[in-house]
């Protein structure tokens, strides 16, 4: 039976690897999800049929948990809006971290069930694994709760910066190491509970100083933390599949975070330590002073300009997601293509509020994958483009990232939409973006503002094009 379990776990691990590979592209994302579900099903069934793993009552409780959890997950998946997907992911990460804490506490108080000794006499190696899993899990839990609250609008997206912020975080980090050493030397329950409390506080203090504009990177990094927490608990439970799965999630999340940090010109070490971007945001934001006149237009104006263009690049952002305008946008693109206009989509690495947010929305509207290009693939083409059509994107198009050293987004690579001959910008108002920075692109002479709901405005443009 042990051999069968090892082989089954190996198959499950291969499925998880194929799942990550599939999710790397919109074209293979469905296949990747299938592999992930298949791997998880194999892992669960194999664990449940291991001899002596569970008693009869345990099976009843586990199946009850599967049914209840599965029902909740189904309802949430059916009702969740695409715009709320980032905060849903953050909420899921918090549950993974909390589960790691609960498993570690269970192993600490009933070590005989896990084969790691007796209560008060757990071997040091297991205590180290347990403590690390607990610490990372608790940090992931509270950090993810804060990320969820910021994305959901329950907490202000502005960075919460306070004096002695970094020294306090450093002191808590040192205290955490001291507590882990104390736990290994004494097996003291007080040390274990203090590790939990300090880690919970550290998770709050690491994420609160991070601004809302940087939440995509935070969500990705918390995903990595949840993986490492699972891997740490896998060592405690001596479960090879949990170790492999946790390492896969942890490493892939870390790699994605690094890629996104490069896309935002951030330091990966500042992400790990927390509070990156906080000082810059408080230092000042682009804006203030006279900017000049703003030129606004109608749907008919936009339709006329695009119908007489040879090339149009569409830049979607979170505003498109909120308005659910992706289907109307694809319809507009189809009409323009029928008129002989070249239409492509430009995606910034952090457009929306999580990696791949815009890609998923466009795929939902059946936008051809070949028309969707990343920043590095299309940025040089804006200078030869007749029209840049910006729908709901703001910070990722703001020239202040290149021109204003005092801006909190300074140094972040942006889509060079201002180089297009004409920029059409759909926006509800002149309000700043999620980073709280006024977009100087609004005041450029080649920019025409189209004020209104993104979906309604796009639908009106489609009608004007067809007439």
How many residues are listed for the chain in this entry? Answer: 467
Tokens 């945001």 -> residue: 281
- 3-class SS of residue 343: strand
Confirm if 451 and 296 have CB atoms less than 8 A apart.
Answer: yes
- Give whole-number Cα distances, 205 to 110, 164, 201, 439, in Å: 32, 12, 6, 30
Residue in 395, 404, 416, 453 annotated catalytic? 395
Instruction: Please report which residue ranges of 24-154 form alpha helices under DSSP H.
Output: 29-49, 56-79, 85-109, 124-152
Rounded to 10 deg, the angle between the 124-152 and 189-207 helix axes is 30
Instruction: Give CA–CA dist 121/44, Å, rounded.
Output: 30
416 is catalytic: no
Radius of gyration of the chain (CA): 25
What is d(CA 464, CA 301) in angstroms, rounded to the nearest whole number?
A: 9
286 CB contacts (<8 Å, ≥6 apart)?
Answer: 398, 400, 404, 406, 407, 409, 437, 438, 440
Tokens (6 digits) for 84: 């709320």
Contact 73, 91 (CB under 8 A): no
For residue 132, give the 3-state DSSP assignment: helix
- Convert 43-72 to b/e letters by CB count within 10 Å (16 or more is b): beebbeeeeeeeeeeeeeeeeeeeeeeeee
In the chain, the N- to C-terminal Cα span, in Å, equals 71
Beta strands 422-427 and 372-374: pairing type? unpaired
46 phi, psi to nearest 5 deg: -60, -45
Q: Which residues pair with 122 in a beta bridge?
A: 117
Work out the burial of residue 28: count CB atoms within 10 Å of its CB; fewer than 13 is exposed, 13-18 middle, 19 or more buried: middle
Chain centre distance of CA 183? 34
Strands 387-391 and 117-118: unpaired
Q: Known catalytic residues?
A: 395
């Amino acid at each position: 039976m042990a051999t069968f379990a090892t082989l089954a776990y190996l198959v499950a691990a291969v499925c998880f690897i194929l799942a990550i590979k599939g999710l790397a592209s919109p074209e293979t994302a469905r296949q990747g999800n299938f592999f992930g579900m298949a791997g998880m099903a194999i892992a669960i069934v194999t664990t449940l049929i291991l001899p002596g793993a569970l008693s009869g009552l345990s099976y009843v409780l586990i199946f009850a948990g599967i049914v209840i959890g599965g029902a909740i997950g189904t309802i949430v998946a059916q009702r969740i809006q695409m715009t709320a997907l980032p905060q849903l992911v953050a909420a899921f990460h918090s549950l993974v971290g909390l589960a790691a804490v609960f498993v570690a506490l269970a192993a600490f108080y009933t070590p005989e069930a896990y084969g790691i000794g007796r209560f008060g006499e757990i071997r040091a190696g297991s205590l180290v694994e347990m403590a690390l899993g607990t610490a990372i899990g608790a940090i992931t839990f509270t950090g993810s709760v804060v990320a969820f609250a910021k994305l959901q609008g329950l907490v202000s997206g502005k960075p919460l910066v306070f004096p002695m912020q970094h020294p306090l975080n450093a002191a808590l980090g040192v205290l955490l190491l001291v507590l882990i050493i104390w736990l290994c030397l004494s097996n003291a329950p007080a040390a274990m509970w203090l590790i939990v409390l300090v880690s919970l506080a550290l998770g709050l203090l690491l994420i609160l100083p991070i601004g809302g504009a940087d939440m995509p990177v935070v969500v990705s990094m918390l995903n990595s933390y949840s993986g490492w927490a699972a891997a740490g608990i896998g060592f405690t439970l001596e479960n090879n599949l949990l170790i492999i799965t946790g390492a896969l999630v942890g490493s892939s999340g870390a790699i994605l975070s690094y890629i996104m940090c490069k896309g935002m010109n951030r330091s990966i070490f500042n992400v790990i330590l927390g509070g990156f971007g906080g000082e810059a945001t408080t230092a000042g934001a682009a804006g203030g002073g006279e900017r000049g006149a703003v030129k606004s237009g109608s749907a008919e104006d936009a339709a006329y300009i695009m119908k007489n263009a040879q090339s149009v690049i569409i830049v979607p952002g979170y505003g498109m997601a909120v308005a659910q305008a992706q289907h109307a946008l694809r319809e507009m693109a189809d009409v323009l293509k029928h008129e002989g206009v070249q239409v492509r989509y430009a995606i910034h690495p952090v457009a929306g509020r999580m990696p791949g947010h815009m890609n998923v929305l466009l795929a939902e509207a059946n936008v051809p994958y070949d028309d969707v290009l990343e920043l590095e693939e299309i940025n040089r083409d804006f200078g030869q483009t007749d029209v840049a059509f910006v729908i709901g994107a703001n910070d990722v198009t703001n020239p202040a990232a290149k021109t204003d050293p005092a801006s909190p987004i300074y140094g972040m690579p942006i889509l060079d939409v201002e180089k297009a001959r004409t920029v059409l910008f759909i926006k509800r108002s002149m309000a700043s973006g999620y980073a709280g920075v006024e977009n100087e692109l609004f005041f450029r002479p080649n920019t025409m503002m189209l004020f209104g709901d993104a979906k309604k405005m796009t639908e009106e443009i489609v009608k004007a094009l067809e007439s």
